[in-house]
Amino acid sequence: MSARFTIARLGSQGDGIAETEAGEVFIPFTLPGETVTAARQKDRATLMSVLEASPLRIDPACRHFGVCGGCALQHLETEAYRQWKREKVVHTLKIKGIVCDIGALVPCAPQTRRRVVFSARRTEAGMQLGFVRALSSEIIPIEECPISLPEIVAALGRLKALAGLICATTKSFHMTVTVTGSGLDVAVHESGKLGENQRRVASNFVIAEGLARLAIDGEIIVEPKKPVVLFGGVAVAVPPGAFLQATAAAEQAMADIVGRHLARAKKVADLFAGCGSFALRLAAKSEVHAVEGDAAALSALDRAFRFASGLRRVTSERRDLFRRPLTFKELNAFDGLVFDPPRAGAEDQSKQIARSDVPFVAAVSCNPVTLARDLRILIDGGYALKSVTPIDQFLWSPHVEAVALLEKPKRRR
């Protein structure tokens, strides 16, 4: 049964929140000030109709919006969307008692996302390829995606056909598609064990269609062209399923901010270094020690450095920084540091950084909550927070990146 609601504000995930006598109700695809009808299920409701629309409501950019489970905020006017996303960072830091200069949001343009994770499944009606509807396991087939690079959208038919060739399971599986300088890199997970004939057919398809690589559960099935990305002009042959920032423009914006902050550092530590998106850029001016737990990523970084020219020395160390963070004594060998952990943040590593004498620190995060926690640790350890820059690389989603810059005065010996 549907009921009438008035939307009071937007929640952290982009849902409209209505306040009722029975508690808050979260209603996706609504905006503050709107009156709507929605079908309620406990503290959530499904939007039925908008009776009184907000002046900030605009037409969504995609025909699949509201169904595919990807974007949350295509219906919000651009400037209001950017203010809301910046405010997420401001509010989260304020909860931890952190007030500082927070810059304007670095915006994200449409059609720039270079890495997309599709869901696929074979059904009685045929192969499905798309995104999963929110709070559901239903795959919504897509025909367009305005956040993704055109190369990915243009390949949707070929990717669906490839999914059909490699499918060896009745369950859904994931297909990560990355645009590289060599073509599309396709990394598949949990599609089932391929038979020899399937391998041969899939390999022939990949070669014929000009794809760069097909890997399944980390095993390279065929690699006609080694997938390569550029980090500040340095070519890196990335391993299957390697982590990359979602957009090249956001990666460059983050690297520029970090690079300016660490410009005076002669020796820099790059923690959670991945394939080297920061390390290889920083090595243009500084010696860099890159620390990363993933062996394949670290190997790609090291190989790229060895074949590059014009870089200062880059050393690498495989180390699980969650289990064994660099100690403050180890960190004191450096005069600059950048760390870019996964969403869980770097609590234990931050405690060691806080005890160190490293004068310049850059913290990069895709999760304002764990960033605020880690910054609080650093500030309590004597660091001064100079600035925080929010960066949007997950367009129309509730996710936001941020780069925080900190300094600590040198201690008198």
Pick the closest to residue 217 from 191, 197, 237 (CA basis).
191
What pLDDT does 413 receive?
41
**For the CA atoms of 298, 299, 300, 304, what is the dihedral angle to 10 degrees?**
100
pLDDT band at 409 (very low <50, low <70, confident <90, very high): confident
What pLDDT does 366 receive?
96
Per DSSP, the three-state class of 16 is strand
Residue 1 pLDDT greater than 80, yes or no: no
End-to-end CA distance of the chain: 72
What pLDDT does 364 receive?
98
Per DSSP, the three-state class of 68 is coil
Phi, psi dihedrals of residue 21, rounded to the nearest 5°: -60, -30
Per-position DSSP letters for 326-340, written without gaps between them = PPHHHHTT-SEEEE-
Q: Which residues of 209-226 are buried (b: 16+ CB within 10 A; e: fewer)?
A: bebbbbbbeeeebbbbee
Q: Residue holding tokens 């590059």?
A: 308
Give the rounded percent of residues in the chain with a pLDDT score beyond 70. 99
What pLDDT does 136 receive?
86
Quote the CA–CA distance of 229 and 114 in Å, as a whole number: 11
Range list of β-strands (E), 253-359: 267-271, 287-292, 314-318, 336-339
pTM score: 0.94
What pLDDT does 411 receive?
63
Alpha helix ranges (H) inside 170-272: 196-208, 248-261
What pLDDT does 271 receive?
98
Q: What is the mean pLDDT of residues 142-146?
A: 96
Q: Which of 68, 145, 275, 366 is catalytic?
A: 366
pLDDT band at 101 (very low <50, low <70, confident <90, very high): confident
**What are the tens digits of pLDDT across the range 254-267?**
999 999 999 999 99
Residues 6+ apart with CB under 8 A from 308: 234, 235, 280
CA atoms within 13 A on the CB side of 150: 0
pLDDT band at 120 (very low <50, low <70, confident <90, very high): very high
Query: 373 to each of 352, 355, 367, 378, how far by Cα in Å?
Result: 14, 16, 10, 9
Quote the CA–CA distance of 120 and 139 in Å, as a whole number: 7
Residues 6+ apart with CB under 8 A from 156: 129, 142, 143
Quote the CA–CA distance of 328 and 333 in Å, as a whole number: 9
Quote the CA–CA distance of 368 and 388 in Å, as a whole number: 11
**What are the tens digits of pLDDT across the range 269-282?**
999 999 999 999 99
Beta-sheet pairing, 139-141 with 173-180: unpaired
Per DSSP, the three-state class of 89 is helix
> What angle in degrees, to the nearest 10, is found between the helix axes of 368-380 and 78-95?
40
What pLDDT does 220 receive?
97
Active site residue 366: yes
Q: What is the mean pLDDT of residues 116-143?
A: 94
Distance from the Cα of residue 109 to its chain's centroid:
15
What pLDDT does 412 receive?
46
Q: What is the DSSP letter of 191?
A: -
Residue 134 pLDDT greater than 90, yes or no: no
Radius of gyration of the chain (CA): 23
What percent of the chain is helix, strand and coil (3-state, nearest 5)?
Answer: 25, 30, 45
Residue 187 pLDDT greater than 90, yes or no: yes
Quote the CA–CA distance of 404 and 361 in Å, as a whole number: 8
Residue 342 pLDDT greater than 80, yes or no: yes
What is the average pLDDT score of the chain? 96
pLDDT band at 2 (very low <50, low <70, confident <90, very high): confident
What pLDDT does 50 receive?
97
Residue 59 pLDDT greater than 60, yes or no: yes
**What are the tens digits of pLDDT across the range 294-307?**
999 999 999 999 99
**What are the tens digits of pLDDT across the range 198-254?**
999 999 999 999 999 999 999 999 999 999 999 999 999 999 988 999 999 999 999
